Structure 1
Amino acid sequence: MSANMVYDFLAGPFADFPFMRRALVACFALALGSAPIGVVLMLRRMSLFSEAMSHAILPGAAIGFLIAGFSLPAISIGGIVAGLVVALAAGAATRATDQREDASLAAFYLIALALGVTLISTRGSAVDVLHLLFGSILAVDRPALLLVGSIASLSLLIMAAIYRPLLVEGFDPDFLRSVRGQGAIYHFIFLGLVVVNLMAAFQALGSLMAVGLMMLPAAAARYWTRSLVSAMALAALLAALSGYCGLLLSFYADIPSGPAIVLAAGTAYLISLAIGRQGLILHWHRRHLEA
């Protein structure tokens, strides 16, 4: 295979089609903004929270859609408000009763998901439902790209600012409260970052796929390194690579782009699970040597 053929295969779709370039830039922005957040979610044992929030934003996005159609500001504002309402409601239910937080989240996000689909179905078509559930990253336009890029940039800056107190709050919240007295504020800032990054991913990947680029690369990165900073960087790299490979797969195999990107991220996770430094093969090998 000649160098030109390799170039045409790997770069041709992005060189020839503007919508592919916009989709690739959106994937890179989502990778930078959401993958490091996924690593922190895993460290804090809050993976369910990201899944819950990806569905919790649906009723707000649906209301925005019913009011203004596929209006980016209306859908974004509605989704962010709905996500924050579900997060606060689940937290309030947990504190007011003896129910575990994961159970409250599961209950509220299921209600939100069903409500969102119902709202869309009342006035939208089956195509509208599929668009909001699975997204269409190939349809990302300039305003959506600016939104995703702005959220990613803001997320990186805020994560850098709250990095140390956020980690301390996760490991020893009592110590942080005794030193600064504001431990909870970092937790809620972080939850807000989760919601807005899922809203950004929602624009491209839909409600069901939005969490894919946040959690799968983060889960894969933890099999290669125990350093938190290294895991964040590796997760972002794997998420960007998953976006690139998923778009190529979607282009050549003629399959939906959102699921193709998440499948690529899932492949990276399975490979890491098998051959990573803390993966199954080396784990089995170490146990075999110890036996």
Structure 2
Amino acid sequence: MIELLYGPFAEFDFMRRALVGVIAIALGGGPIGVFLMLRRMSLTGDAMAHAILPGAAVGYLMAGLSLPAMTIGGLFAGVVVAVAAGLISRFTALKEDASLAAFYLLSLALGVTLVSLRGSNVDLLHVLFGTVLALDDSTLLLIAGISTVTVLALAVLYRPLVLECVDPTFLRSVSRTGTPTHLMFLGLVVLNLVGGFHALGTLLAVGMMMLPAAASRFWSNDITMMMLLSVLIGIVSGIGGLLLSYHAELPAGPAIILTAGAVYAASLVLGREGGLLWLAWPRRHLEA
């Protein structure tokens, strides 16, 4: 049993690299996913994940599968879409979710078209679903750097982010940090999506943000504990997905997200904070 769990990582270098990559993604993406969930922006994360696709595709057209080109292109496209969606919602009658939905559809179609102009089906699958088993040193350094920046930034922004989740009106009444905090948070979302894009692709990158965060909510209602649990669930899902991929000969990226989905389903049923089993358990009269 131990050999089944430890053997693939001990024997193969690409498995160890993938392990480091998913741990780094979980460290940065888990806490970001918690705040996206608490701010009711879960689908915003999905829209932003697709928004980086055209920029990454342009980088691919210019330099092939180049890490710097695709990273810079994805960052630029993500920031442009975030700012544009905010401006449209501020100066027109269209709400931010509707504008993000429009950008999401356009970005996905444009990105796939751009990649198809030059690349093969293999390149398209690489962009859409990532290559977590083919991470090189430079990509690992990028993902680890993004996770480090995210953790440090969240340590600085923690109080205003929590206040904005709990009582944004109070935050606006006592401080002017609401708007800068929101913009910096969106920047962190884009950064983590770009990091996840290189490992899991644009279609799956947001999964390592939202599924562990959603699962953690069924185990705690404390924000700090939810952040820690989301990181732990992300790491466990990454390890479990890599092992499932290795032993069952499945694609690694989808296997990781399916494992995270299984943890979410188990939490939905068994979680102490609103899980189905606990809700169905008979309580004493007038017990909260």
TM-score (norm 2): 0.96
Report the equivalent of 2:175: 180
Report the equivalent of 2:277: 281
Q: Secondary structure at the match of 1:57?
A: helix
Classify 1:286/1:260 alpha carbon distance in 2 versus 1 (closer, same or farther; 3 Å). same
How many positions carry a matched residue from both structures?
286
Instruction: Return the alpha-carbon distance in structure 2 between the equivalents of residues 133 and 241 of structure 1.
Output: 23
Classify 1:18/1:95 alpha carbon distance in 2 versus 1 (closer, same or farther; 3 Å). same
Q: Which consecutive residues of structure 2, in runs of 5 or more, have no partner in the other structure?
A: none
1:165 maps onto 2:171 in alignment = no
Classify 1:288/1:138 alpha carbon distance in 2 versus 1 (closer, same or farther; 3 Å). farther
Report the CA distance between 1:180 and its aligned residue: 2.8
Report the CA distance between 1:170 and its aligned residue: 3.1
Instruction: Return the alpha-carbon distance in structure 2 between the equivalents of residues 97 and 80 of structure 1.
Output: 25
Report the equivalent of 1:3: none
Instruction: Return the alpha-carbon distance in structure 1 between the equivalents of residues 114 and 47 of structure 2.
Output: 18
Moved more, 166-175 or 210-219: 166-175
Correspondence 1:62-73 to 2 at 5 A = 62-73=57-68
Instruction: Return the alpha-carbon distance in structure 2 between the equivalents of residues 91 and 173 of structure 1.
Output: 17
1:124 maps onto 2:156 in alignment = no
Q: Secondary structure at the match of 1:225?
A: coil
TM-score (norm 1): 0.95
Percentage identity across paired residues of the two chains: 57
CA RMSD of aligned residues (A): 1.5
* Amino acid in the other structure paired with 2:14: F
Classify 1:96/1:246 alpha carbon distance in 2 versus 1 (closer, same or farther; 3 Å). same
Q: Secondary structure at the match of 2:158?
A: helix
Report the CA distance between 1:175 and its aligned residue: 3.1
Classify 1:288/1:207 alpha carbon distance in 2 versus 1 (closer, same or farther; 3 Å). farther
Classify 1:234/1:48 alpha carbon distance in 2 versus 1 (closer, same or farther; 3 Å). same
Q: Which consecutive residues of structure 1, in runs of 5 or more, have no partner in the other structure?
A: 1-5
Report the equivalent of 1:152: 147
Report the equivalent of 2:25: 30
Q: Is the contact made by 2:219 and 2:271 (CA closer than 8 Å) also made in structure 1?
A: yes
Give 1:76's match in structure 2, choosing from 71, 81, 89: 71
